[in-house]
A and B are shown apart, each in its own frame.
Chain A
């Protein structure tokens, strides 16, 4: 069985959850007998050196079966590419690879219409689409967070979407939905890493029967617990992108509140990057905080910024903290950081919505706090740092995260389910 995995970005060029999972799957499928995976990742203006004159699709760094789709002039309003040459190159590539399964992990950088194009070129192939967020439903970056007040959005509508991003009129949001659904119609099977997403997509109008829950699985480095446990469990870590919806600002505000209360027996380590993708206001807020922190006398510093981290450094970074804080202000679809924290035996303190709420059981294997509420986070952190035995109890409650192999098996089952649905549709 030949499986073409289509991803937005190559994780070695631009980091991100969906491309990481696509790549994990690609690597995992290589180990499955009788399966030949091919990986096609988009590259855009973020990786100008990858572009070659006249090429639309190229190889990648001498890797077997790894290709780059060179995307430019993408239309973010309608999610489509403008040039016939790009579509033709994609069509030729599909014919050349001739896969049994085309597994999209994203449509961004290609265009949602490439789903229909795929069906047109490969009428018999199974098309599987994994939604890593709500991009098809939500024009506001697929986050389903209201732009006006930052509140979570549970229902897209032409008027609500227009209120969020007024440059499109209600009619255009109506059309956007029709346009998206017209192309998603060709998908045989959808998968989502978290169950709660299915409700969102079915409420939006897609068929629940076409959805399958396949949790993300990571191949993690080997880990053995520390020999000697520290006396206090008062070290908190943030891991991930420093963009608005990851909620780093909530954590920093919680630090301010704890200090204002006179509680400063804690440490926070920030491990993250891509602050350039944050909004200017949020970026300034974070950078001002960190600059002010750096000005404090060493003994008063409680927050340190460690920058980004390659995968190989994850164990070392995790070893420096007791708790991992996930203060995301959006639905946080799956949260690979939770998997990483659990792998290293770190309980997670997370916002009480979306993926984290689905995965963490409060006071059993982690702690949940009201999303976006810095005071609630401050109280939770204070409790975590001071309540004797809490860390040990929660760490003991952690279930090891799904390994990559489980995810691979999950997707193989999805490909079978897609075949069954195709057969059903044909009948």
Chain B
């Protein structure tokens, strides 16, 4: 009993508790039973007086506990569970020289959800909110946590500081909603900026997402990672295009009528193949070719290929070599900046004329048709198996219910489809020249003035994919839809470059970015193969 010798101010005496039953109170409140057993309280009554009454706990049991019915013995939320230190680990923290920060780990938050992952380093700190982190399956963590059913215990995040940060040891705190914490000391690894981008994009593409995996990956990017990655990649792109090596293999005195810009990546063979096949075309000498290479490793080989091509085929070639992968958009923008002609033709390395008079017919159409039809247009593209590959592009939207993604809102992702993919080669309806929602970047013919007006391809897109649709939609919004022209080429889709896991990651970011940028206008008037957009009136049958 308190004899009043502690010097503390006495509390006001509690109201009398005539019917307080110590034994019953402990039975009703096992947490109090434990606390008393641990010596935290001297008695059940003391707990009741200090906390229990305020928490609305019953002081005594009803005489007859109703059968088959739960009764409430305290106000909801008032009986705080003792927080438990969670199981978890931080696997990786990588920091690049420009301030890209990548973190991966796992935490068993199957019951008590993760609130944040905080990193404290000498000189800086960062707190990743749980919402900003992507959650992924980690079967190894499931085993450690002995979960009966698998949960997405893994997490990863990325943030771009845009400044150099010191590395060293880091206090990593995984904080749960209950306030429970797991504190770990982790070494931060330093990584080159380009390598870090690859690491993150590889991780993005290869991680195991729960439920509808692709949707979950894109959805998790959307919360924060996507925009951070785009900023980070933009910085790398600007660096890559800032110091190009340019060599011209020209034949003096020619004034090209069209500049063909080809972005090369991973495969050097296609320069010679394209030159050999294009140079056979009547009127080929009216074209110059600008090859922009995103693969440093190909530089020497391409210099040799271009020199041989100049000797054997005689077309003007400009070779622009980059020290790092600037991506499709920036490479093409750079190529356009070095073009001599007012007509730009963006062409993939695996695109080849299907018609012997393609070169002349293309320029004839540019000269003869109204500007509205030629400011930006694509062509019918064919697979090598003879079937149609592309006769323009349109948009579809895929929606997944939010409950499958453990989020409140349903998620929509835009999809780009090609008119006539795999169709028989001669389908008049598909081949008819007409305005289309978009054309593929594998072949886009554009006036340089309109290209400049639109400020070129958006360099927000990482490596490649969706920048072509983005350009066409910007053109459409500015009043000039892309046209499908009466021209035919082969497109050996995907064969002209080397595709790796890192590109899958980039494609996911780009799809998120494209959706984020265009979902509203597309939903409004551009959905499906026969969209209602007034500028595309001819699309509708």
Residues on A lying within 8 angstroms of B by beta carbon are 77-78, 80-84, 87-88, 91, 113-114, 116-117, 120, 158, 169-172, 174-175, 178-179, 182-183, 185
Minimum distance in angstroms from A284 CB to a CB of chain B: 35
- Name B272's contact: one of A80, A120, A171, A178 (CB within 8 Å): A80
Minimum distance in angstroms from A180 CB to a CB of chain B: 10
Instruction: Indicate if the CB atoms of B273 and A117 lie closer than 8 Å.
Output: no
- Name A179's contact: one of B273, B301, B304, B311 (CB within 8 Å): B273
* B308 lies within 8 A of chain A by Cβ: yes
Which one of B273, B307, B492, B495 has the greatest number of beta carbons of chain A within 10 Å? B273
Instruction: Indicate if the CB atoms of B352 and A178 lie closer than 8 Å.
Output: yes
* B456 lies within 8 A of chain A by Cβ: no
6 CB contacts below 8 A, A to B, read A78-B269, A87-B307, A87-B308, A171-B492, A174-B384, A175-B492
CB-CB contacts below 8 Å: B173-222 with A: none
Please provide the 4 A-B residue pairs with the shortest distance between their CB atoms, ordered closest to farther: A174-B384, A84-B307, A171-B492, A117-B312
Instruction: Indicate if the CB atoms of B314 and A120 lie closer than 8 Å.
Output: yes
Given contacts A170-B384, A171-B495, A175-B384, contact A116 B304 (CB under 8 A): no
* B313 lies within 8 A of chain A by Cβ: yes
Instruction: Indicate if the CB atoms of A169 and B495 lie closer than 8 Å.
Output: yes
Size category of the binding interface on chain B: 20 to 34
- Name B280's contact: one of A78, A80, A170, A182 (CB within 8 Å): A182
Instruction: Indicate if the CB atoms of B308 and A116 lie closer than 8 Å.
Output: no
Q: Which residue of A lies closest to B353 (CB)?
A: A178
Minimum distance in angstroms from A127 CB to a CB of chain B: 14
- Name A120's contact: one of B269, B311, B385 (CB within 8 Å): B311
0/1 interface trace, chain B 305-322, chain A, CB 8 Å (1 if under): 101100111100000000
- Name B277's contact: one of A91, A170, A178 (CB within 8 Å): A178
0/1 interface trace, chain B 364-395, chain A, CB 8 Å (1 if under): 00000000000000000001110000000000
Minimum distance in angstroms from B491 CB to a CB of chain A: 10
CB-CB contacts below 8 Å: B391-441 with A: none
Instruction: Indicate if the CB atoms of B276 and A116 lie closer than 8 Å.
Output: yes
Extra A-B contacts (12), CB below 8 Å, given A88-B311, A113-B276, A170-B384: A78-B273, A82-B304, A83-B304, A84-B308, A113-B312, A114-B312, A117-B311, A120-B312, A171-B384, A172-B495, A175-B352, A179-B276
Which one of A80, A158, A175, A185 has the greatest number of beta carbons of chain B within 10 Å? A175
Residues of chain B contacted by A170 (CB below 8 angstroms): 384-385
Q: Roughly how many angstroms separate A175 CA and B383 CA in the complex, as a whole number?
A: 11
- Mostly, the A contact residues are helix
Residues of chain B contacted by A182 (CB below 8 angstroms): 276-277, 280
Residues of chain A contacted by B277 (CB below 8 angstroms): 178-179, 182
Instruction: Indicate if the CB atoms of B273 and A175 lie closer than 8 Å.
Output: yes
CB-CB contacts below 8 Å: B299-340 with A: 301, 304-305, 307-308, 311-314
Q: Roughly how many angstroms separate A167 CA and B273 CA in the complex, as a whole number?
A: 18
Q: Which residue of B lies closest to A116 (CB)?
A: B312
Residues of chain A contacted by B301 (CB below 8 angstroms): 82
Q: Which residue of A lies closest to B492 (CB)?
A: A171
Q: Which residue of B lies closest to A118 (CB)?
A: B312
Minimum distance in angstroms from A92 CB to a CB of chain B: 11
Q: Which residue of B lies closest to A171 (CB)?
A: B492
Minimum distance in angstroms from B301 CB to a CB of chain A: 7
Q: Roughly how many angstroms separate A175 CA and B493 CA in the complex, as a whole number?
A: 13
Q: Roughly how many angstroms separate A120 CA and B385 CA in the complex, as a whole number?
A: 32
Q: Roughly how many angstroms separate A197 CA and B401 CA in the complex, as a whole number?
A: 64
Q: Which residue of B lies closest to A174 (CB)?
A: B384
Q: Roughly how many angstroms separate A185 CA and B282 CA in the complex, as a whole number?
A: 14
Instruction: Indicate if the CB atoms of A87 and B384 lie closer than 8 Å.
Output: no
Minimum distance in angstroms from A6 CB to a CB of chain B: 16
Residues of chain B contacted by A169 (CB below 8 angstroms): 495
Q: Roughly how many angstroms separate A171 CA and B349 CA in the complex, as a whole number?
A: 13
Q: Roughly how many angstroms separate A182 CA and B305 CA in the complex, as a whole number?
A: 17
Which one of B311, B313, B383, B492 has the greatest number of beta carbons of chain A within 10 Å? B311
Q: Roughly how many angstroms separate A114 CA and B307 CA in the complex, as a whole number?
A: 14
Residues of chain A contacted by B269 (CB below 8 angstroms): 77-78
Q: Roughly how many angstroms separate A154 CA and B276 CA in the complex, as a whole number?
A: 27
Q: Roughly how many angstroms separate A82 CA and B269 CA in the complex, as a whole number?
A: 10
Which one of A80, A169, A170, A171 has the greatest number of beta carbons of chain B within 10 Å? A171
CB-CB contacts below 8 Å: B262-279 with A: 269, 272-273, 276-277
Minimum distance in angstroms from A111 CB to a CB of chain B: 9
Minimum distance in angstroms from B279 CB to a CB of chain A: 8
Instruction: Indicate if the CB atoms of B304 and A84 lie closer than 8 Å.
Output: yes
Q: Roughly how many angstroms separate A83 CA and B303 CA in the complex, as a whole number?
A: 9
Q: Which residue of A lies closest to B352 (CB)?
A: A178
Instruction: Indicate if the CB atoms of B280 and A185 lie closer than 8 Å.
Output: yes
Q: Roughly how many angstroms separate A360 CA and B76 CA in the complex, as a whole number?
A: 103
Q: Which residue of A lies closest to B311 (CB)?
A: A87
- Name B311's contact: one of A78, A91, A174, A185 (CB within 8 Å): A91
Instruction: Indicate if the CB atoms of A174 and B492 lie closer than 8 Å.
Output: yes
Residues of chain A contacted by B311 (CB below 8 angstroms): 84, 87-88, 91, 117, 120
Minimum distance in angstroms from B376 CB to a CB of chain A: 27
Q: Which residue of B lies closest to A186 (CB)?
A: B280
Which one of B301, B308, B495 has the greatest number of beta carbons of chain A within 10 Å? B308
Q: Roughly how many angstroms separate A91 CA and B307 CA in the complex, as a whole number?
A: 13
0/1 interface trace, chain B 482-507, chain A, CB 8 Å (1 if under): 00000000101001000000000000
Residues of chain B contacted by A87 (CB below 8 angstroms): 307-308, 311-312
Q: Which residue of B lies closest to A157 (CB)?
A: B385
Minimum distance in angstroms from A316 CB to a CB of chain B: 48
Q: Which residue of A lies closest to B314 (CB)?
A: A120
Q: Which residue of A lies closest to B350 (CB)?
A: A171
Residues of chain B contacted by A81 (CB below 8 angstroms): 308
Minimum distance in angstroms from B442 CB to a CB of chain A: 13
Instruction: Indicate if the CB atoms of B495 and A113 lie closer than 8 Å.
Output: no
Instruction: Indicate if the CB atoms of B272 and A113 lie closer than 8 Å.
Output: yes
Residues of chain A contacted by B492 (CB below 8 angstroms): 171-172, 174-175
Instruction: Indicate if the CB atoms of A158 and B272 lie closer than 8 Å.
Output: no
Instruction: Indicate if the CB atoms of A78 and B384 lie closer than 8 Å.
Output: no
Residues of chain B contacted by A175 (CB below 8 angstroms): 273, 352, 384, 492
Q: Roughly how many angstroms separate A169 CA and B352 CA in the complex, as a whole number?
A: 17
Instruction: Indicate if the CB atoms of A116 and B495 lie closer than 8 Å.
Output: no
Q: Roughly how many angstroms separate A87 CA and B272 CA in the complex, as a whole number?
A: 13
Minimum distance in angstroms from A74 CB to a CB of chain B: 13
Minimum distance in angstroms from B248 CB to a CB of chain A: 15
Minimum distance in angstroms from A193 CB to a CB of chain B: 28
Q: Roughly how many angstroms separate A120 CA and B279 CA in the complex, as a whole number?
A: 12
Minimum distance in angstroms from A167 CB to a CB of chain B: 13
Minimum distance in angstroms from B303 CB to a CB of chain A: 8
Residues of chain B contacted by A83 (CB below 8 angstroms): 304, 308
Residues of chain A contacted by B385 (CB below 8 angstroms): 158, 170
Q: Roughly how many angstroms separate A182 CA and B385 CA in the complex, as a whole number?
A: 19
Residues of chain B contacted by A77 (CB below 8 angstroms): 269
Minimum distance in angstroms from B98 CB to a CB of chain A: 37
Residues of chain B contacted by A113 (CB below 8 angstroms): 272, 276, 308, 312
Q: Roughly how many angstroms separate A175 CA and B385 CA in the complex, as a whole number?
A: 11
